[in-house]
Structure 1
Amino acid sequence: MSSLTGGARPHTLNAAGIPLSGFLALPEGREVRSTILAVHGRGMRAAYWSALVPLATALGHAVLALDRPGYGDSAELLPEGQSLAGQAETLHAALKEHAAGHAIGAGVFLLGHSDGGKVALHTAATDGAVPLLGLDASGVGHHYNPEALHFPSTLGGGASKLNWGPLNLYPRGTFQASRALLAPTPPRESAETVRWPGQYEDLAPRVRVPVRLTFAEHEAWWQLDDPAPASMAALLTAAPHVSVEHLPAAGHNISLGHAATAYHLRVLAFLEDCLRL
């Protein structure tokens, strides 16, 4: 699972002096229609997005998946990590560097999971040098399930149900293989967890691209009873289009489960919509 497939190759960007490792996958034999910046969640690495690569590149999209600041090659330089807003600034710098040497097509489509979805929302709410097409986020809500705030985002520590949901939602061998994706969560990121609801209320009105929010059927980190998802969407007042979807037979780590293909196809369908807007 941690190996790179579908034409992906290791890739490192200099983001204003911060080395961001990850991978880059380009469509073979055709121009890049758009570039997907894929942003992993808490305690994971860029290879979380490996299963997306063959579907996206077959449709002409490049996939740029980066280890967020404080993970991968930047962990030594940033042992405390960066704030979510700081990570967004670093990602904007990385996109500028990437666009200087690679075709990005019509622009960059943000794809974020969990804490990576928070960073993607911060990125969409701030200006950068590269045009943004839209944002698709999974596993990130507005208000936490009260039980979730007591657990770390790890395979152990009592958080397995929150992170995964029912084990039969994942292919055999997923949990052993996914250990290669794990990385320590930087302290600054962990410290911001309780502040997210207020942060979201501040940044949501500044997101000016189409947004799709996806919640797994067995998502346990967030309050999802009505009207919570609709209330979250309603705060995105400047976004030209907002949709909320619920994915059946999926747990929090959607892109590692049996539902990954269905989710990724829906992501790419939304990207097509964004390209037409």
Structure 2
Amino acid sequence: MNSVTFDVTPPHAPGTTWRLDAELFLPPGKAPDTVQLLLPGLTYDRRYWTAPGALDYTRHAIGEGYAVLALDRPGTGASEHPAAEQVTVESNVEAVHQVVAALRRGAPGLPAFRHVVAVGHSLGSGIALIEAARHRDLDALVITGLLHAVGPLYPEAMPALYPATEDPLLAPTNPPENYLTTRPGRRAALYEHPAGIDPGVSAWHEETKSTVTAGEGFTLDAIYQPEVAAEVRVPVLLVVGQEDRLFGGGDASTEDAASVVAYEQKFYTGATDLEAFVVPDAAHSLNVHRTAPRWYAAAHEWLDRRCPARER
């Protein structure tokens, strides 16, 4: 594991830079041709991808021969925390685009990769979706925890947030004004399936929470616009928890992969192919559930057919 930083230019302020922190994981031996760019969701940072034990996605990915870059998006984790109104879905998209460019060309401490795949969760999935549609510099998308239909708990998501400056865990980090996080206890209620998660991992889930900005909250609708998914021109794998109550429901059933594809294919009209995987006994935050390794294995089987770790 190597620490990597990126200086990105926000779209609203061409003369300024934001520092983004990430961790680069490389398998032993020859550098892979393909890197996975991991993008965490709302109120998460890169630790989402390194859950305890067998739930560590990065360990699984490098075991399959892939390079992995786990990124702290703007305003999260160890990355710079700009003013909340500047950290929007749009500024996230352009920051990620600049990271993708750096992964392709290489940089000090960072090899150049032939292929870049984005693997997102929730808001991170939406950012990857817009980036792929606009810039067309990704080779494949793994979209987890995001559908074009909201579930019964979605209206409770924003009321579950409050100022990070009032949170016992995050207040000591001096978060800027209008940075928000989940109220104590609400994380489990919204994001977990109690029967599918160990208590110790649920506690870790609470202890590793991060922030979301008001700017991101006000611009979330950009993700769900039908024209975004329609402009994607690469293979897409959709991964959703069978017990997710933030997304899905009604015509957008999460009972099986065929139902997910049947609903979502009217949005991904330009994707070269569209597949889905439904994770049993898992809710929105897939990686903290005992069944998470099932989607890790399915995603890498899917990736190996489209963007293998090394050219054959």
- Work out the number of aligned pairs and report it: 265
Q: Which moved more, 1:32-41 or 1:220-229?
A: 220-229
Which one of 117, 122, 139 corresponds to residue 114 of structure 1?
Answer: 122
- 2:94 pairs, out of 76, 83, 89, with 89
1:216 Cα deviation from its structure 2 partner: 0.5
Distance in 1 of aligned mates of 2:29 and 2:140: 25
Q: Give the match for residue 40 of structure 1.
A: 40
Name the counterpart of 1:134: 140
Shifted more, 30-39 versus 167-176: the winner is 167-176
CA contact (8 A) 1:69 1:78 kept: no
The answer as to whether partners of 1:204 and 1:236 remain within 8 angstroms in 2 is yes
Map of 2:216 onto structure 1? 189
Contact 1:133 1:209 in 2 (8 A): yes
Q: Which residue of 1 aligns with 2:263?
A: 231
Q: What is the match of residue 253 of structure 1? A: 285
Name which of 62, 69, 81 aligns with 2:67.
Answer: 62
1:205 aligns with 2:230: yes
> How far did 1:234 drift?
2.0
CA contact (8 A) 2:277 2:298 kept: no
Provide Cα deviations, 1:219-244, integer angstroms capped at 9, x if missing partner.
00013333563332321111100112
Kept in 1: contact 2:20–2:78 (CA 8 A): yes
C-alpha distance in 1, partners of 2:241/2:276?
Answer: 11
Q: 1:18 to 1:75 in 2, by over 3 A?
A: closer
Letter aligned with residue 134 of structure 2: T
Asked if the contact 2:129–2:223 (Cα under 8 Å) also holds between the matched residues in 1, the reply is no
In 2, the alpha carbon distance for the partners of 1:34 and 1:211 equals 16
8 A Cα contact 1:233 1:243, kept in partner = no
Q: Residue 62 and residue 195 in structure 1: after superposition, are their counterparts in 2 closer, same or farther (change >3 A)?
A: closer
Q: CA contact under 8 A between 1:125 and 1:207: conserved in structure 2?
A: yes
Question: How many angstroms does 1:121 deviate by?
Answer: 0.6
SS at match of 1:12: strand
Match of 1:47, as an amino acid?
R
Identity of matched residues, %: 23
SS in 2 for 1:141: coil
- 2:155 and 2:221 map into 1 onto residues whose CA distance is 8
- Structure 2 unaligned segments of length 5 or more: list them: 10-16, 51-55, 161-181, 254-259
Structure whose alpha-carbon radius of gyration is higher: 2
In the TM superposition, what whole-angstrom CA distance separates every residue of 1:185-233 from its partner, at most 9, and x where no partner exists?
Answer: 1111112345643x2x121111111001111011000133335633323
CA shift in 2, pair 1:147/1:261, >3 Å: closer
Please identify, of 49-58 and 107-116, the stretch whose mean Cα deviation from structure 2 is larger.
Answer: 49-58
- The worse-fitting range, judged by mean Cα deviation, of 257-266 and 148-157 is 148-157
The answer for the alignment partner of 1:160 in structure 2 is 188
- TM-score, structure 2 normalization: 0.77
Report the TM-score when normalising by structure 1.
0.86
